[in-house]
Amino acid sequence: MPSAGLSPRRAVQLAALSALLLLYSLQLAGALLPHTALFVAASALGLVLDLYLQHRQPGLLALLGKVRFDVVTRQLLRDMLVVVGLVRLPDVEPVEEMGVVPLLLGCYAAHFFCQGVALLVRRSRTLPIVTRNVDASALGLSAAPPRLLLRQPSRRLLRFMSPATAGLLATAVTSDREWALAGLGASLLLSVVAAGYLGTWLLPRKRLPDEARVLAWLDDWLADYRPTTGMYFSGGATSAYQANMWLDTLAALDGRPIIVLRERFMVQKIEATDVPIVCIPKVAHLMHLEHSTLKTLLHPANSGKTSQVLRIPTIKHAFTNHGESDKLSSCNPYAKAYDEVWVAGPAARERYQLADIGVDDRDVVEVGRPQLAPIEPYAGPPAPGGFTTVLYAPTWEGWTDDPGNTSVILAGENIVRGLLADPAVRLLYKPHPMTGSVDPRAGEANRRIQAMITEANSGRSGARPGPEAEAELRRRTDELDRLTSTAFRASVDEAERMMLQSRPDGGHAAAVTAAREAWEAAYWASFPTWEHQIITGPRPGIYACFNQADLLVSDVSSVVSDYLSSEKPYAVANTSGLSERDFRAGFPTVRAAAILSPSATEVPELLASVREPGRDGLAAARAVLKTHLLGPSDPPSLARFNRAALDLCAAADARNSRAAARTGSDIPGQRDDAAAGGSATVSAGTGEDAEPGPAGTGGGARPTEPSGAEDPALRA
């Protein structure tokens, strides 16, 4: 159950909101009494508090915005009360004679005018595409205006109106109207100058090219680069790992690789790579790929926007997924929308056949898992007298309500308790980053597990690495951060980032790989071998944890399949409610695993089998299952993957040659129909929110083949 009371964040927000309302009340009271000291103090503190909220409490400001109590309303109310106070104070010259109100209204008019100019500049700097690792110098990109002027109207209003408020309050104290006039004049001048400065970005020297010119540049770049195989990815902010795991593989393929994204923010979520990245948000612009040399697109994930690219007939599509497991999600019916489904080994092929979801077995291609190369093979049991390193890496609860998705809720605490009870165990706990995002019980159990591990560490002691180990880790961290940082100056925008990242280094990815390996070595060396670790960030990665572990405990997930490449012992928690026999029969990846019940009473025997190979009766089964899940070791997975990519490119060439041969014949092609007045695949008005047609068709029929397409020779 969730803990009673407010969280610290909510408590701070409630206190800030209460203080804001109290200060408005005191400001009103000071104005009406009138009481100069109370009035001035409440007005000044209200402005200071609002400035604090802008920097420290964006969540509270978003909530206030929803009830229409945004920054403009708050500042207008504050200024109105200041004017009321000036009217009520007996020693102050009449407001109408000072000209305060016209100047105050002029300040707000200048603010709104400046905001209008800012919107025009922002629109002019929003390009139809975003690139990275692509030379975009021909577009004449320019640096962005200051963020305060362009993208922070709330902060701009408060800061620019501060002189006006200060001047009015100074007049309330001194009865000298010159302070009010000076403050209001300064605020008015700030907004007018800011608007004029922003307007220079609308002049030819700084203005970015329009949509037509940018798209023409894209066509020219595609014609010059001549991409062959690409990766297509669309997803949310937390899903970038699904694409990042394929970067090294994509870069190693023969031909000219490219990465095609759909969400602008994703450009900076992609990790270090030398592969050109092109983000094309609108579906209408996506069709420019049809006229390029791009032949194949690889898809590591399904998304709502996948159907939009599937409608391009000149490109062949392969679904690679971002990991394989026995979960139902590994056999998504959407897979039949692709030309081919690439899997690691025979187990996944069988999984699709048993699922009976319409994926033709002839379209399933076994390519192995090229990403698993960094995983070290089994080197024997832990040394006698040393620690047994156990990696507990449970998966998350998933979007579906399938039983047994995660062990964290029902078995996690029992598993960890059993492992911590053995004094010769060092536990590495690496939960899935999305744990608790669907089921709050998983998040609560995850927090309790981490508390258990922290408490267990407090009861351990021993020698620790010297200060030189920590210094080395800091040095390696700084080096890796420098190479992987996507941080820019505060005011940078998309167009400026595109300009700064327009010339790829060529050796950047290799430098990052070397720095990451050096960081991982320094990381593990900085901790004593007896200390349990809670690993919740992206570093170290799961494969680095594999190489430290003598034993993996996990759930039915792709983590198990990947770890099996080492042939080390592993265990899977059975929280599905199935008997062990049915559990093994239903999930092939656990056939060579030790099975843990929700009570985890099997942990002591499991640890004994790891330490004494003679008690490990599953070693031979792991070797067999490894081949069944991941395919043979020879030829290497990368070679098989590359061969599959070349073959699919050849299939695209064959299809396009047949389509070209039909041009002018009695059988019109898809584009000929459109030209003749039929429904084009994408109309001129198609936008990003275009409504797709049936699943996998992208709003229209998929490219049709000749009537004999069922002939194997014509299926390519």
> Residue 198 has what pLDDT?
98
Q: Is 522 a domain residue?
A: no
User: How high is the pLDDT of residue 286?
Assistant: 96
Q: What gap in Å lies between CA 709 and CA 712, rounded to an integer?
A: 7
Which regions of 334-380 does DSSP assign to beta strands (E)?
340-343, 364-366
Contacts for 103 with CB less than 8 Å, ≥ 6 apart: 181, 184, 185, 188
Q: Is residue 51 predicted with pLDDT exceeding 80?
A: yes
Tell me which DSSP letter residue 254 carries. S
Helix/strand/coil for 390 = strand
Amino acid at 270: I
The percentage of residues in the chain with a pLDDT greater than 70, rounded to a whole number, is 90
Lowest mean pLDDT among 131-145, 172-186, 278-292, 318-332: 318-332
Interhelix angle 8-32/36-56, rounded to 10 degrees, is 150
Confidence of residue 690 (pLDDT cuts 50, 70, 90): very low
| For residue 685, pLDDT beyond 60 | no
Please compute the mean of the pLDDT values over residues 252-266 and round it to a whole number.
Answer: 96
Q: The tokens of 301 are what?
A: 């994930």
* 546 and 436 both lie in a single domain: yes
Q: Which of 630, 649, 682 corresponds to the end of one domain?
A: 630
DSSP 62-120: HHHHHTT--HHHHHHHHHHHHHHHHHH-TTSPPHHHHTHHHHHHHHHHHHHHHHHHHHH
Position 483 scores a pLDDT of: 87
**CATH number for the domain harbouring residue 622:** 3.40.50.2000
Helix residue ranges, H only, 139-199: 147-150, 153-174, 177-199
pLDDT band at 683 (very low <50, low <70, confident <90, very high): very low
Give yes or no for a cis peptide into 635 (omega within 30° of 0).
yes
The pLDDT of residue 602 is above 50: yes
Overall number of domains in the chain? 3
The answer on pLDDT for 664 being more than 70 is: no
What is residue 233's predicted lDDT score, i.e. its pLDDT?
97
pLDDT greater than 60 at residue 679: no
Of all helices (H) and strands (E), which one includes residue 258?
strand 257-261
Q: Residue for token digits 């507990």?
A: 392
Q: Could you read off the pLDDT of 493-538 as tens digits, one per residue?
A: 999 999 999 866 678 888 999 999 999 999 999 999 999 999 998 8
Please compute Rg for the chain using Cα positions.
31
655 has pLDDT over 50: yes
pLDDT band of residue 398 (cuts 50, 70, 90) is: confident
Residues 443 and 304 in one domain: no
Enter the tokens of residue 94: 């009449």
Dump pLDDT digits (tens) for 306-327. 999 999 999 999 999 987 766 6
Whether 708 shows a pLDDT value over 60: the answer reads no
Same domain, 231 and 352: yes
Q: Is residue 471 part of a domain?
A: no
Domain that holds residue 664: 226-368+636-716
Chain centroid to Cα 335, Å, comes to 23
Q: Across the strands, what pairs with 573?
A: 596
Query: What is the distance between the alpha carbons of residues 464 and 531, in angstroms, rounded to a whole number?
Result: 9
CB 611 within 8 A of CB 326: no
- With beta carbons less than 8 A apart as the criterion, state whether 236 and 180 touch: no
523: three-class secondary structure by DSSP: helix
Is residue 392 scored above 70 in pLDDT? yes
CA distance 532 to 461: 11
Q: What pLDDT is stored for residue 93 in this prediction?
A: 87
Among 48-57, 124-133, 273-282, 392-401, the least confident range? 392-401
> What average pLDDT does range 587-610 have in this prediction?
95
DSSP 362: G
What pLDDT does 5 receive?
Answer: 58
On whether both 359 and 238 belong to a single domain, the answer is yes
| 611 in any annotated domain | yes
Confidence at residue 503, expressed as pLDDT on a 0 to 100 scale? 67
Token pair listed for 60: 């509270």
According to DSSP, the residues that pair with 131 across neighbouring strands are: 278
The pLDDT confidence band at residue 97, using thresholds 50, 70 and 90, is confident
- Region 68-92: mean pLDDT is 94
Residue 499 lies in a domain: no
**How sure is the predictor about 259, in pLDDT bands with cuts at 50, 70 and 90?**
very high
Q: Judge contact between 385 and 361, C-beta under 8 A.
A: no
For 564-697, where are the alpha helices, taking DSSP H only? 580-586, 603-611, 619-630, 637-662, 670-675
Composition of the chain by helix, strand, coil, percent to 5: 55, 10, 40
Per-residue pLDDT tens over the stretch 418-457:
999 999 999 999 999 889 988 999 999 999 999 999 999 9
Q: Does the structure show a pLDDT above 80 at 707?
A: no
Same domain, 147 and 28: yes
User: Is the alpha carbon torsion for 569, 575, 580, 583 positive or negative?
Assistant: negative
pLDDT of 611 reads 96
Mean pLDDT, residues 206-214 taken together: 96
Query: CA 64 to CA 17: how far, in whole Å?
Result: 9
Looking at 604, 630, 656, which one is the last position of a domain?
A: 630
Is residue 20 scored above 80 in pLDDT?
yes
Asked if residue 293 and residue 238 are part of one domain, the reply reads yes
Q: Is residue 598 part of a domain?
A: yes
- What three-state secondary structure class fits 5? coil
Q: What is the DSSP letter of 331?
A: G
Q: Is 1 contained in some domain?
A: no
Average pLDDT of span 139-158: 96
Q: What is the mean pLDDT of residues 32-57?
A: 95
pLDDT digits (tens, 9 = 90+) for 326-379: 666 678 888 999 999 999 999 889 989 888 889 999 999 999 999 999 999 999
Q: Which amino acid belongs to residue 590?
A: V
Do 301 and 390 belong together in one domain? no
Distance CA 564, CA 402 (A): 24
Confidence of residue 706 (pLDDT cuts 50, 70, 90): very low
Counting Cβ atoms within 10 Å, is residue 77 exposed (0-12), middle (13-18) or buried (19+)? middle
pLDDT of residue 588: 84
Closest CA to 323 of 251, 245, 268: 245
Residue 282 lies in a domain: yes
The last residue of one of the domains, among 596, 630, 664, is: 630
Mean pLDDT, the chain, as a whole number?
A: 89
Q: Is-contact 136 498, C-beta < 8 A?
A: yes
Strands 388-393 and 229-233: unpaired
Q: What angle do CA 625, 383, 561 make, to 5 degrees?
A: 20
| 709: CATH | 3.40.50
- Confidence bin at 705 (pLDDT 50/70/90): very low
- On whether both 608 and 654 belong to a single domain, the answer is no
105: how many CB neighbours lie within 10 A of its CB? 12
Question: Is residue 362 located within the same domain as residue 382?
Answer: no
Does residue 259 sit in the same domain as residue 196?
no
Do residues 273 and 356 share a domain? yes
Strands of the 364-366 sheet, one edge to the other: 130-132, 277-279, 257-261, 229-233, 296-299, 316-319, 340-343, 364-366
Phi, psi (rounded to 5 degrees) for 140: 65, 45
Cβ distance 221 to 230 under 8 Å? Answer: no
pLDDT of 672 > 50? The answer is: no
352 and 415 share a domain? Answer: no
Decide: 319 and 335 in contact? Cβ < 8 Å: yes
Is 613 part of any domain?
yes
Distance of CA 252 to the CA centre of its chain: 24
Confidence of residue 164 (pLDDT cuts 50, 70, 90): very high
Q: Please, which residues bridge with residue 486 across strands?
A: none
The reported pLDDT for the residue numbered 667 is: 52
